[in-house]
Structure 1
């Protein structure tokens, strides 16, 4: 298919593989599952650090409706293959019953090296995310565009929060995944580099020192992709609902077009600006859509008010890119809350009804499994004439 369009994009979703009867993560996954998945779906399927994780990726796309159909088919197809092996797909930033000590890593040289280099930090990396790539027009400095997108990162995190539980406990955070990622080096909010040349020079310093093999080990919340001519959003939790993933991808795509169309200086490239963004990231991972974000003058703006401001800002871009339908789902997301809200509501309801903590978490897992790959609803019968 042709991908010659403005602001082409790709979406990557990470999942846990779960044993549905116990609701626990699959400690060991049959190699034939991944082999069959790749035979059927090709490069759209990729393994992850832990055997209990798997990733699906859309092809490079121009149309969000088509991306939704493809990702929906991949979720259903991979879910069906997993079912044949006694497993099921679960989309969330963390698994409510997951215990990292029980997990086996994927046997690949890259992953063995990660564990050797990062030890317990790598072994604890039992988290799943949503990544969105957007290609910018030729001649646009991706790092300068990235700098201007960074103040919006906490909002994009708030919209995706799906990891309130860790190690079978309510973490008190809406995105514990972000807290866990803070254990890794070269994560979180990047510094303000003057442009792609300065960014690449920094990466080469680390390469020459042997600290990293290449720029793919710069795992920041947003980055110029080392493998594609894109800006890559990495801050989002894995979204349980596919439509949430699509809406966040649409929002990021429209934001990048708006930034390109309205050249302007980056935010002040000083420590205070970066620290304000990081403060707002903390507020998003703590409170999700209930967060209030700070500006440079100490004024507070509720996350949902910031969302409405951003949607007004990108209205023309949404129309030009055909993203209006995908963005309309943000109204649903804002009204019902994210996956983290649903998980916590189920957990509290179960606990109030007298369920043990473990059984309440099992109920959360049951909801996540059904929401990740919903049963297809039959089309209504056509009335006879």
Structure 2
């Protein structure tokens, strides 16, 4: 396989208390020691102690990515249970309260928290990040701009954050609304060329505003560490099949844009503004509200847009060996995302048990079972099987 098609996936997860179903404020060092023993290279801590991130190795096939992420999810979820915690893949925790969070002690995170102040504590959000290799730096920067109109679809298919601070938000993807409080987020600007982008970064670094380009947190960005273009707009996907579908769609889009050099080559400020409006619509409605088509000046349904796009990407999917994963995008567009299931679980449990807390607890249980890949919800009287003297 052509090396330019290589990719990697990063997933962020919440650590939830298995008894209360609430967030974990402080995680036992024994848990992190066990994680380090089991996954010395694939797992790292996040800015808040209630979060953890995994990363696949460099992958050349979707089968490699599936094997890596399923191993990581099952292994981490098992270790979490042994330490009385649940592992949750979702954009926001259904009931967590940001003011009760503790930051992870690390030099980088200490610096970020000093800069962001309260906004750092409110960054109780988990995303899905997908890296696709594009070796030429100038090409990465051009692709970053050209792919902007497709980002709302990628967000709509990933929505998994309908709750915030124990409340229904009315949005399918609230995560980006909270994330937008941070500086250097949202859509990148329409840089004239690669030199224009580099001038922007170099100016911020020289002035002391940021240490390096890793402090730029746009919805898509050239990676500061790898020769990749990093997608960051997606919520952390609860179901592994959803993660792989979005990864396949993103990979195919990168290849498609590289083959069709004229597509979105002259993106206008108006087109960027329409993309921003569509991102809002994806946040608000997920797959249900429709997105604005600039060419026809009409509202198009997400299923129809996905169906048309997947037809355009058929050759790319065949070349990349990801037809099955890409086709799952149609299922997502037709049957719903994690946010749809969370809301259905919440309403059913609230009606049955008669309360908001019961509904939120049921959502946490569903998230945990899907993240573990076993589909088994914990019973209310669950007790962990602790390992030795741990």
Alignment of 1:1-385 (within 5 A): 5-138=3-136, 141-264=139-262, 266=264, 268-296=266-294, 298-353=297-352, 355-375=354-374
- CA positional deviation for 1:102: 1.1
Deviations 1:90-119 (A, max 9, x none): 110000011111111101111111111111
What SS class does the counterpart of residue 252 from structure 2 fall into?
helix
Structure 1, 86-95 or 29-38: larger mean CA deviation: 29-38
Contact 2:138 2:194 in 1 (8 A): no
Structure 1, 162-171 or 22-31: larger mean CA deviation: 22-31
RMSD: 1.6
Question: d(CA) in 2 for partners of 1:219 and 1:282?
Answer: 18
Deviations 1:60-89 (A, max 9, x none): 000101210111001111111112211120
- CA positional deviation for 1:296: 2.6
Please, which runs of 5 or more residues in structure 2 have no aligned partner? 377-390
Aligned residues: 375
Question: d(CA) in 2 for partners of 1:368 and 1:355?
Answer: 21
Question: d(CA) in 2 for partners of 1:206 and 1:258?
Answer: 33
Contact 2:303 2:334 in 1 (8 A): no
Please, which runs of 5 or more residues in structure 1 have no aligned partner? 378-385
TM-score by length of 1: 0.94
Deviations 1:254-297 (A, max 9, x none): 11001111111635444322111100000000000012111335
Question: d(CA) in 2 for partners of 1:234 and 1:217?
Answer: 13
Deviations 1:191-217 (A, max 9, x none): 111232221110111111111111111
Contact 1:94 1:128 in 2 (8 A): yes
Q: Which residue of 2 aligns with 1:380?
A: none
Deviations 1:316-364 (A, max 9, x none): 0000010111112223323321000001111122233352111111111
TM-score by length of 2: 0.93
Q: Which residue of 1 aligns with 2:388?
A: none
Contact 1:215 1:226 in 2 (8 A): yes
